[in-house]
Amino acid sequence: MICGLGGFVPPRTVTNEELETRLHTSDDWIRTRTGIRSRHVIEAGQATSDLAVAAGRRALDSAGTQSVDAVVVVTTTPDRPCPATAPAVAGRLGLTGAAAFDLNAVCTGFVYGLATVAGLIATGVADRALLIGADTYSTIVDPEDRTNAVVFGDGAGAVVLRAGAPTEPGAVGPFDLGSDGTGEELIMVAAGGSRQRSSPGEPSRSDRHFSMRGQEVFRQAVTRMTTSANAALHATGWKADDVDHLVPHQANARILRAVAAELGVPGERCVSNIESVGNTGAASIPLALAEAAHHQNIQTSGRVLLTAFGGGLTWGSCTLRWPTLSKIEHPHDIGGIQAS
Ligand code: UT7
């Protein structure tokens, strides 16, 4: 069960107006097509682990503990290809000795991470664990790619989990997870891995950057999130009407509206912060949860449905009973935290 929550976005804000000055785009196009007005990006020299540490520290504070048995960092943008980012994050949080590893399921990563950590706890490997979703898409998106540069932002969100009863506030699951690797080319960074490194020649500029076939991904995102969310509802024994708050991966405001409508969950029950952070990959769901916890607008034990879709292709959903939490910092508050 979740017993602590925290989020952090880097202070630098990139507004649609700023993007208008350097890309052939407009505030109107971005807002209409995506619902985004601004996003946060790291400064030169910062990295994913800097955001992960800030969010992780806040989640530990929120849980009232400084000790966990495992640290899992979910990311598509690790600090380096080797080693994993999680051990360094654990070390900087004073958690040396804890099990630490990375997990990558692209934008579905946080839900996969929740299932993985729930398993670590259920099998007794860990009594308490820190799960951090952190991504810096600004490091893989081509700044001149107007379609993707307007959509993605950087950020991190984290939860602390511990053992608990399935009906307790904070309880997560059942889960529905899935993948379809035949669609791997729809979302990709083609270069940088073993396939490119073992091939002759230098990678092209486009292969070195993030690519996405937007319209096809849009269609798949709506269908896969809806089907998966329904499976998680069914496994929990809830109907769409029982859902107090739907928290989808913040991919695009139009996708969020379509998923809520397909599920039969009223739009006002859909939690969204995409307007001010954009699509933050593995950080998107925990950042939205952290913002909701800051505003204290979800009641303890409220019935929450999480659903996500991302590269792989991957998808995943689960239910959550809202935890008992004290008010936490807003992810946009710097509050003395240095992001590096
Ligand atoms: O996080 C993992 C899951 N991700 C998602 O689910 C994302 C799903 N996809 C999307 O959100 C949308 O496909 C995008 C926001 C990425 C793109 O929106 P779209 O409505 O699918 O646009 P498009 O790529 O089909 O392009 C439509 C038009 C094109 O012009 P023409 O060919 O109709 O003349 C583009 O060149 O819009 C043009 N365009 C832009 N115009 C102004 C593309 N990007 C921009 C831009 N500003 N930034």
Distance from the CA of 218 to the center of ligand 1, in angstroms? Answer: 10
> How many other CB atoms are found less than 10 A from the CB of residue 287?
32
Q: Is the pTM higher than 0.85? A: yes
Q: Strand, coil or helix: what is 337?
A: coil
Q: Which of 17, 29, 33 to mutate to test the pocket of ligand 1 (most atoms within 8 A of CB)?
A: 33
Q: pLDDT confidence of 120, banded at 50, 70, 90?
A: very high
Q: Whose CA is nearest to atom 42 of ligand 1?
A: 25
Ligand 1 atom nearest to 249, measured from its CA: 1
If you search the block for the tokens 């952090």, which residue do you land on?
A: 8
- Which residues are the active-site residues? 107, 249, 279
Per-residue pLDDT of 161-198, as tens digits, reads 999 998 899 999 999 999 999 999 999 999 999 999 99
Per-residue pLDDT of 233-256, as tens digits, reads 999 999 999 999 999 999 999 999
Q: Which of 24, 147, 220, 307 to mutate to test the pocket of ligand 1 (most atoms within 8 A of CB)?
A: 147
Ligand 1 atom nearest to 254, measured from its CA: 11
Distance from the CA of 151 to the center of ligand 1, in angstroms? Answer: 9
Token output for 31: 């807002």
Q: pLDDT confidence of 228, banded at 50, 70, 90?
A: very high
Q: What is the per-residue pLDDT for 191?
A: 98
Distance from the CA of 19 to the center of ligand 1, in angstroms? Answer: 15
Rounded to the nearest angstrom, the gap between the alpha carbon of residue 90 and the centroid of all alpha carbons in its chain is 19
Residue 174 preceded by cis peptide, ω within 30: yes
- CA-CA distances (angstroms) from residue 34 to 113, 229, 271? 26, 22, 15
Rounded Cα–Cα distance for residues 249 and 263 (Å): 15
Q: What is the per-residue pLDDT for 336?
A: 59
| Helix H or strand E encompassing 197 | helix 194-197
- Residue boundaries of the structural domains of the chain: 1-340
Q: What is the per-residue pLDDT for 334?
A: 82
Q: Strand, coil or helix: what is 116?
A: helix
User: Residue 338 pLDDT > 60, yes or no?
Assistant: no
The values of phi and psi at residue 12, to 5°, are -70, 120
Rounded Cα–Cα distance for residues 227 and 43 (Å): 38
CATH class of this structure's domain 1-340: alpha beta
Pocket, ligand 1, Cβ cutoff 6 A:
25, 29, 33-34, 107, 146-147, 150-151, 214-215, 217-218, 221, 251-252, 255, 279, 309-310
8 A C-beta contact, residue 4 and residue 63: yes
Q: Please state the rounded mean pLDDT for residues 264-292.
A: 97
